[in-house]
Amino acid sequence: MYKKPFHSKELSEFSFLVTGGAGFIGSNIVEYLLKYGAKKVRVLDNFSTGSKENLKLFIDNPSFELLEGDIRDMTTCRQALEGIDYVTHQAALGSVPRSINDPVTTNDVNISGFLNVLVAAREANVKRMVYAASSSTYGDHPGLPKVEELIGNPLSPYAVTKYVNELYASVFSKVYDFHSIGLRYFNVFGPRQNPKGAYAAVIPLFIDAAIQKQAPVINGDGETSRDFTFVENAVQANIKALLADNIDQAEIMNIAFGERTTLNELWQMISEVAAIDIPPNYSAERKGDVKHSLADISRANRLVGYNPEISIAAGLKITYNWLSSNSI
């Protein structure tokens, strides 16, 4: 992975903070930055959902720094931002079901924690802050493809928290002249995504089932569709957004591949990679889920040059091979 660079600036001149850097997307961003010679890559993580296993490849790199701490603590956030040029904020409690089961903790981490990082980044006068926004912000708006200006009512506590992040980012831009970029991720998948636990995402769950030669459980009739996005595309978006010039206001942009895949189609694709023929089991639809999702990615292309290059099919092969050889 990351065989070609997404940047033109010399990374050896800059220090980066990756909050949630022990997590799935965060650790992939860390991998890219270290591979291309960043001066310093500091990770802030409390390991509530991230894993030290995700950092084992980097721990001996002299440019890597680990700060174990919680974004809900302002002192920790200020310490993490010392000497940092760019921050990519990936720390959050994901999962719609998790937020429904525990909205208070989701709110504390995703809103209070986000605000702490935003304040600390502004105080540290960083060159740019990019943060993980979410396609869940589109809520019940029926339009497809999703365009950034048109959102509906949120369908879960998680969606509320991610929308509040965007509101705070907009206010900080107008009031403090501190301009950040929110990346509305659409169902990112790839290596280092954990298939275990109550809140695992659908692709690692399906791939784990395929490896075990077991039937997956599909919520609903399987015709629910998503714009699945391979993690290398999300890393590209982060790097290009961090280093983009001429951003003079808060920006939000969709980060996806731009294609819609149903859960039934997804299982068929994974079955072909795994060379199995096992029909799935079906169960009730989950609360808080939208039926269909598809992104318009033209704004990200226009503003930062985002151009996703790894297709869903290619990403599934890479992810299957990684999960087959890495027990989590």
> Beta strand pairing status for 229-230 and 188-189?
parallel
- 25 within a domain of the structure (yes/no): yes
pLDDT of residue 291: 86
Q: Let me know if 75 is exposed, middle or buried by CB neighbors in 10 A (0-12, 13-18, 19+).
A: exposed
In angstroms, the CA 94 to CA 60 distance is: 29
The pLDDT tens digits for 279-306 are 999 998 877 777 899 999 999 999 999 9
Computed over every residue of the chain, the mean pLDDT equals 95
If one counts the domains in the chain, the total is: 1
pLDDT of residue 284: 87
CATH number at residue 70: 3.40.50.720
Does residue 145 have a cis bond before it (omega within 30 degrees)? Answer: yes
- 85 within a domain of the structure (yes/no): yes
pLDDT higher than 80, residue 228 = yes
**What 3-state DSSP class applies to 164?**
helix
| b/e map 198-221, b = 16+ CB within 10 Å | eebbbbbbbbbbbbeeeebebeee
Ranking 16-20, 49-53, 265-269 by mean pLDDT, the lowest is: 49-53
- 277 within a domain of the structure (yes/no): no
- Containing domain of residue 300, as a range? 13-188+231-258+290-310
The pLDDT tens digits for 123-168 are 999 999 999 999 999 999 999 999 999 999 999 999 999 999 999 9
Nearest to 239 by CA among 9, 56, 67, 21: 9
Residue at 323: amino acid letter: L
Count of CA atoms in the C-beta half-sphere (13 A) of 31: 21
- Which of 86, 158, 168, 306 is labelled catalytic? 158
pLDDT higher than 60, residue 328 = no
pLDDT of residue 285: 85
> Beta strand pairing status for 251-255 and 40-45?
unpaired
**What 3-state DSSP class applies to 282?**
strand
- 317 within a domain of the structure (yes/no): no
The pLDDT tens digits for 103-112 are 999 999 999 9
Taking residues 197-216, what's their average pLDDT? 91
- 107 within a domain of the structure (yes/no): yes
- 206 within a domain of the structure (yes/no): no
Nearest to 17 by CA among 158, 162, 159, 117: 117
In angstroms, the CA 157 to CA 103 distance is: 6
Taking residues 212-227, what's their average pLDDT? 94
Taking residues 96-123, what's their average pLDDT? 96
pLDDT of residue 246: 86
The pLDDT tens digits for 178-187 are 999 999 999 9
- 201 within a domain of the structure (yes/no): no
> Beta strand pairing status for 225-226 and 229-230?
unpaired
The question of whether 158 is a catalytic residue gets the answer yes
The pLDDT tens digits for 31-90 are 999 999 999 999 999 999 999 999 999 999 999 999 999 999 999 999 999 999 999 999
The pLDDT tens digits for 169-203 are 999 999 999 999 999 999 999 999 988 877 788 99
Q: Using the 8-state DSSP alphabet, how is residue 144 labeled?
A: S
In angstroms, the CA 269 to CA 161 distance is: 33
- 172 within a domain of the structure (yes/no): yes
Model confidence at 327, pLDDT cuts 50, 70, 90, reads: low
